[in-house]
Amino acid sequence: MRYLSQRYSMPYPELKGLLTDIGTEELGHLEMVGALVHQLTREMTPEQIKKAGFDVYFVDHTAGVYPTAASGFPWSAASIGVKGDVITDLSEDMGAEQKARTTYDNILRLSDDPDVNNVIRFLREREVVHFQRFGEALRLAMDRMDEKNFYAVNPAFDRS
């Protein structure tokens, strides 16, 4: 949602396209993770649910896929960064991709399931590519901007 929302204020058509493409791909990642979670939980017995510490989640959602962080914090729009500033948004995007990569790294440290690990490795690789694309986009945007128009001196905010 972050990238699909940021594209509205992106002034450069090819970067708007990049945000659209990566945002669409990320929706596919959500589907992959949801399918993975469903496959892992759909046939759990009550004993397995309790042993895995899945009981609190199960009480509220059964085995339905309900987007939350590992800590149990539910997803909300408050978790997406959209500022409407090219540099801020692309920098935020790079950080978001690194956070996702770190999460996948942590899952790989804990998982011994080869089927899960194959999916997570694929997703991790895509986060690295997205980080690189956003870095390229940031450089392109900064090259196109009037040097006086970003960071310290912005004529639109001149107080004289």
Structure tokens of 63? 């085995």
| pTM, entire model | 0.84
Q: What is the largest CA-CA distance in the chain?
A: 71
Percent of the chain scoring above 70 in pLDDT: 91
- 17, 8 in Cβ contact below 8 A? no
Residue 152 has pLDDT above 80, yes or no: no
Across residues 61-84, what is the average pLDDT? 84
The encoded tokens of residue 78 equal 């408050």
Q: Determine the pLDDT at residue 56.
A: 87
Report the percentage of the chain scoring pLDDT > 90. Answer: 62
Cβ-in-10-Å burial (0-12, 13-18, 19+) of 86 comes to buried
Q: What is the mean pLDDT of the segment spanning 9-26? A: 96
Q: Which of the four pLDDT bands, split at 50, 70 and 90, describes residue 143?
A: confident
pLDDT above 60: residue 155: no
Give the span between the Cα atoms of 48 and 32, in whole angstroms. Answer: 23
